[in-house]
Structure 1
Amino acid sequence: MLDWSAIILGIIEGITELLPISSTGHLLIAEHWLGARSDTFNIVIQAGAMLAVTIVYWRRLVTLAVSWRQPENRLYIGKLALAFLITAVLGFVAKAAGVELPTTLAPVAWALIIGGIWMMAAERFSERRSSKKEVTWTVAIAVGVAQIVAGIFPGTSRSGATIFAAMLTGTGDRGAATEFAFLVGIPTMYAASGYELYGQFKHGGGHEDWVALGTAFIVSTITAFVAIKWLLSYIQTHRFTAFAIYRIALGALLLVIAGRGWM
């Protein structure tokens, strides 16, 4: 028998993980009505979304791997590695220091609102600059830091934070900024998922409905694949303004819900 709640959560994760609207806020609402899931469940469906990114960019990844001796590819790989290492080091520091905000409605709502306002301001600023496709070392550093900011502040959106970090620090082209942000996310999210899963099993976790989990993983992967392909097409001719407005509206709604004690 199909677990429809797992399917719905997989769909929500697949759509919201890669679009700059934050998966955390959406999953909070969904799990309130459908029932809370384990950390293992949420980690695995997140990995499903990142698998979709890997599939979408497989040609680019193969080109980088096969032609790594070419100077431009070697530099690009170096910048991906730098962004990942910054995230990994700062992530371990934050974990050791216990720096983590609660995934409750109010902080997530404020992160959505502030992030939406920041996205509109950042895009206006970046449009005044030349539309460069080049990814500089400064961009790599900024993207690495942005991933940690998104990890510490639930509701920020990893994709939104990294894309706009790239755009603000030099990569004015939306497509180039999105590609770099997504490619950095592949090793980052796989490493984070693996680390969290190891911790879950080490401390006695892993008691899961594996059929439901597998179903949600597959649904998340398929949905994320469609969402990424749509986003890459959309940003060729559109700004991110619609996502920013949506974030602000959702954040305001969550504040109302939290204030009235509905969740």
Structure 2
Amino acid sequence: MEPETIVSAVILGIVEGLTEFIPVSSTGHILLLGHFLGFDSSGKTFEVLIQLGAICAILAVYTNRLTTIVLATPHDPAARRFVAGIVVAFLPAAFAGVMLHGFIKEVLYESPSLICTTLILGGIVLLWIDRRASPEPRYTNATQYPVWLAFAIGCCQMLALVPGVSRSGATIGGALLFGTDKRSAAEFSFFLALPTMGGAFVYDLYVNRNQLSVDDAVIITIGFVTAFFAALLVVRTLLDFVSRHGFTPFAWWRIVVGVLGLALLHYSG
């Protein structure tokens, strides 16, 4: 394994961790960066499997809260409603992801110009959502969202199957449009990430099990570890940042990255 590959895996793992839970599209960022670094993984598995590091970061931060919910589920209707909401929110993207897996990995993941375009368009939409005049939020506790709202957010999450849209951006944006506040929308996106990213990890590992080599396992492990520590920083600080600054900084970041990406693609041919 070449040193350049190891360095690329470290860089991409850090970028994955820093961008997974903010609405800028971690997949879009690492696919673009991988394109310009000349990094390529078997079946594009690296880009999916290192998300396990980000999942573990959520578990590390929310262990006590998640444990409390799980233990309360048998006898607490509110806990059961929350778990049911996460399940129904997970299902739309899970079904669509399985049905479109080949098309997503073989076509959409191989189109840097599409990723740049969706980054820009998503940034514009996020700017509009963040700045629009909205009534007082009706839902401010992520663990108390009604099941219908969770399902609606889950339907929005399907948009993130297109790289560059952003899973967190689609879920947070959808939640805000349905009357949530910014902090609880971001937190619900954290919780929904657990089954969504966990499911994507397991399914992608199963589909590509025969393509993976020892070298693939090494670089995936490197990406996993760096993604974990980077995501840990984000999970611990994002909610307070969003409460103070909203999502406008992330919207502008998307637009700038998308424009620069298109320019680099143009000049590099």
2:13 alignment partner in structure 1: 10
**Distance apart, 1:95 and its partner CA:** 4.0
Which amino acid counterpart does residue 139 of structure 1 have in structure 2? L
- Alignment correspondent of 1:175: 183
- Tell me the TM-score normalised to structure 1 length: 0.89
1:1-263 correspondence to structure 2 within 5 Å: 3-31=6-34, 32-33=36-37, 35-38=39-42, 39-68=44-73, 69-95=75-101, 98=103, 101-103=107-109, 104-125=111-132, 128-131=134-137, 132-134=139-141, 135-151=145-161, 153-171=162-180, 173-201=181-209, 204-209=210-215, 210-260=217-267, 262=268
- Cα 1:45–1:92 change in 2 (3 A) is closer
Letter of the 1:60 partner, please give it. Answer: R
CA-CA distance at 1:49 after TM superposition: 1.3
Change in 2 beyond 3 A, CA 1:191/1:28: closer
Q: Mark the runs of 5 or more structure 2 residues left unpaired by the alignment.
A: none
Q: CA deviation at 1:142?
A: 2.0
Q: CA deviation at 1:34?
A: 5.0
AA matched with 1:7: V
Matched letter for residue 164 of structure 2 = G
Superposition TM-score, scaled by structure 2 size: 0.87
> What is the deviation of 1:175?
1.6
Choose between structure 1 and 2: higher helix proportion: 2
Partners in 1 of 2:94 and 2:26 — Cα distance? 21
Corresponding letter in the other structure for 1:49: A
Relative to structure 1, the CA distance from residue 208 to residue 129 in structure 2 (aligned partners, 3 Å threshold; closer, same or farther) is farther
Partners of 1:198 and 1:102 in 2: how far apart? 20
Pairwise CA distance, 1:79: 0.8
SS of equivalent residue, structure 2 residue 212: coil
Q: 1:92 to 1:216 in 2, by over 3 A?
A: closer
Q: Deviations over 1:42-79 (max 9, x none)?
A: 22211211221222222221111011122221211111
Count residues with an aligned counterpart: 256
Report percent identity of matched pairs. Answer: 35
SS in 1 for 2:17: helix
Map Cα deviations across residues 231-256 of structure 1 (whole Å, 9 max, x no partner): 12211211110100111111111122
Runs of 4+ displaced beyond 4 Å = 98-101
What are structure 1's unaligned runs of at least 5 residues? Answer: none
The CA deviation string for residues 12-68 of structure 1, in whole angstroms up to 9 with x for no partner, is: 111111111112332133222252233232222112112212222222211110111
The structure-2 alpha-carbon separation of the partners of 1:253 and 1:45, relative to structure 1 and needing over 3 Å to count, comes to same
Aligned AA (2:41)? R
Distance 1:199 1:166, change over 3 A: same
The answer on whether the counterparts of 2:16 and 2:26 sit within 8 Å (CA) in structure 1 is: yes
Q: Matched residues in 1 for 2:19 and 2:233: separation? A: 12
